[in-house]
Amino acid sequence: MTKHSPHVKRLVRIALFSAYPLLLCGCQLVQNPFTDELAGQRSVTTPSVDAVRAASVQPSAVVAHGEAKTLPMTDGSVTHGPLYFEDPFEDKGSDDGKFAWSGEDYLWMFYWRGRYLVNAVAFPVSAVVTPPWTVMVSDGRPSPRAFGEQHDAVRRKGPVATAEPAPDATGGS
- Domain residue spans of the chain: 78-155
Task: Give pLDDT, residue 173.
Answer: 47
pLDDT digit string, tens, across residues 119-142: 899 888 888 988 888 888 887 777
pLDDT digit string, tens, across residues 32-89: 666 766 666 667 788 888 888 888 777 777 888 888 888 777 777 888 888 888 876 6
In this predicted structure, the answer to whether residue 162 has a pLDDT above a threshold of 70 is no
Task: Give pLDDT, residue 160.
Answer: 64
Give CA separation, 59 vs 46, 53, 55, 56, 83, in Å: 19, 11, 11, 9, 47
Task: Give pLDDT, residue 20.
Answer: 67
Which of 48-52, 71-75, 154-158, 169-173 is the least confident region? 169-173
3-state secondary structure of 27: helix
Distance CA 111, CA 171 (A): 58
Distance CA 90, CA 69 (A): 41
3-state secondary structure of 58: coil
Identify whether the C-beta of residue 82 lies closer than 8 Å to the C-beta of residue 136.
yes
Task: Give pLDDT, residue 9.
Answer: 82
Give all strands (DSSP E) within the chain, no chain letters: 78-80, 136-138, 143-145, 148-150, 154-155
Identify whether the C-beta of residue 115 lies closer than 8 Å to the C-beta of residue 90.
no
pLDDT digit string, tens, across residues 10-35: 888 887 777 766 666 655 556 666 67
